[in-house]
Amino acid sequence: MGSATVVLYPFPGIGHLVSMVELAKLIHTHHPTVSIVILIIPAPFETGSTDKYINTVSGTTPSITFHHLPTITLPPDFSSDFIDLAFGIPELYNPIFHDTLIAISEKSTIKAVILDFFSNAAFQVSKSLNLPTYYFYTSGASGLCEFLYLTTIHNTTSMSIKDLNIYFDIPGVPPIHASDMPMVLFDRESNSYKNFVNTSSNMAKSCGIIANSFLGFEERAIDALRDGKCIPDGPTPPIYLIGPLIAGGNQVDPSENECLKWLNSQPSKSVVFLCFGSMGVFKKEQLREIAFGLERSGQRFLWVVRNPPPDDENESSSGAKELDLDACLPEGFLARIGNKGLVVKNWAPQLAILGHDSVGGFVSHCGWNSTLEAVDAGVPMIAWPLYAEQKMNRVFLVEEIKVALAVEMSSDGFVTAESVEEKVKELMEGKEGRVVRERILEMSGRAKAAVADNGSSQVDFFQLMQSWTEL
């Protein structure tokens, strides 16, 4: 490619950023002469884990350059809504983004600009400079079907989906109940809704869409995408399935980590792992229900517990308190479980745990990175969605791909001890659980085959790079 650069513009949230960095690593592995620049905008939220991650990658992968854009002052009337911030801040950065691309292009040929969907406002800038622009959809093909079909839903329906007992028929995926669709679609007058529709429209006009999935995992969804069924009113750009992109590195020493040392003493496939992502926080009442359910199930478990939200505003203003497990969990719980369970505070090495032979099940929030890690490791799931698109992911994982069981939830998301007990026992010992356990092993084999030499994901990736040389 000669002196060539690929510019990546991720959303600074850790889940989106990790996938984008893995894409950068993949590009570097197969084309080390290409310069990779990742633009980082100041995040509208606490970024301790993000900053730490960037520093780690910078120290171990010098071929990837993180270019931190300068901090700008937000207008006083700027929305504090998370989704509005996620879409709105990149729009404020468009002049800086423009100048940054000009500066890069004076020294190198920009072969591609790859945008996160939250960076959608940058699409008009890169297109105005005639730069090949792609979108990286950090979730899977099923979610991409919904995202691209959103323009059609918007143009063909006039009602809000809030509180309506209806299902949406979207090509490539099972019917999705309104309550399982992302919350931002409930208010068509909101900026969030308008931004999603605009992004859906722009993605359809891009040079290509990259997704973190693989051919053998979401076959019906991928067929619908490539057959143009999700953009019925116009041509579909090329769809590149290059996953599973899973963050490696940062290996944990099994002899030093508390979780891995404990797992070494447990029987094969006997432990249920519970972890709900970087934003998975439960109130004390819910934590106690989980504890009772796990105890009654009789199953071995490894559970990551985060600080519950404050009980009142005065507590929140005093800053985060040290997590006190005895205060959050039922009286005597930790003593009663003995060596049959392990509760750890705030963080655990998820990738290493899922890859451990003792782990036989995973209670997950259905975040896409966690989902792919479980699929790659061959660990069946219990789907417990919390926010964003996770309820929709549950539909895909339970009904379509059949690698998870769904926990019973109330309308406000509460899960009883009885439901926890029932689903954990079913996953580990029941007939439905056996079907899911067998299915996930099949998918794990497909995942490994996809990224192997001449696998479907590798073929798609090479086609993506070939498109850059042609452009």
List of domains in the chain: 4-248+450-470 (3.40.50.2000), 258-448 (3.40.50.2000)
Lookup: tokens for 165: 């007992």
Residue 161: band (very low, low, confident or very high) from pLDDT cuts 50, 70, 90? low
Residue type, 294: L
Mean pLDDT, rounded, for 457-468: 96
Mean pLDDT, rounded, for 148-157: 93
User: According to the model, what pLDDT value does residue 318 have?
Assistant: 40
| Range with the poorest average pLDDT among 56-70, 98-112, 113-127, 259-273 | 56-70
Identify each DSSP E strand in 149-245 by its residue range.
Answer: 167-168, 176-177, 208-211, 239-241
User: According to the model, what pLDDT value does residue 61 have?
Assistant: 78
Mean pLDDT, rounded, for 256-264: 94
| CA gap 209, 236 in Å, rounded | 9
The DSSP code sequence of 76-97 is: TT----HHHHHHHHHHHTHHHH
End-to-end CA distance of the chain: 11
CA 391-241-348 angle, to 5 degrees, is 55
Residue with more model confidence, 387 or 315: 387
Lookup: tokens for 448: 């490994």
* SS3 of residue 180 by DSSP: helix
**Looking at the predicted structure, is the pLDDT value of residue 397 above 70?**
yes
User: According to the model, what pLDDT value does residue 80 have?
Assistant: 87
**Looking at the predicted structure, is the pLDDT value of residue 19 above 50?**
yes
Q: Measuring CA to CA, which residue among 140, 145, 24 is closest to residue 403?
A: 140
Residue 162: band (very low, low, confident or very high) from pLDDT cuts 50, 70, 90? low
CB of 137 closer than 8 Å to CB of 209:
yes
pLDDT tens digits, 206-215: 999 999 999 9
Q: How many helices (H) and strands (E) does the chain have?
A: 19, 15
Share above pLDDT 90 across residues of the chain, in percent, rounded to a whole number: 79
Residue with token string 């963050």: 247
pLDDT tens digits, 36-80: 999 999 877 665 578 888 888 887 777 799 999 999 999 999 988
Residue 249: band (very low, low, confident or very high) from pLDDT cuts 50, 70, 90? low
361-to-174, 194, 195, 282, 434 alpha-carbon distances in Å: 25, 39, 37, 20, 11
pLDDT tens digits, 306-317: 999 887 444 443
CB of 323 closer than 8 Å to CB of 305:
yes
pTM of the model: 0.94
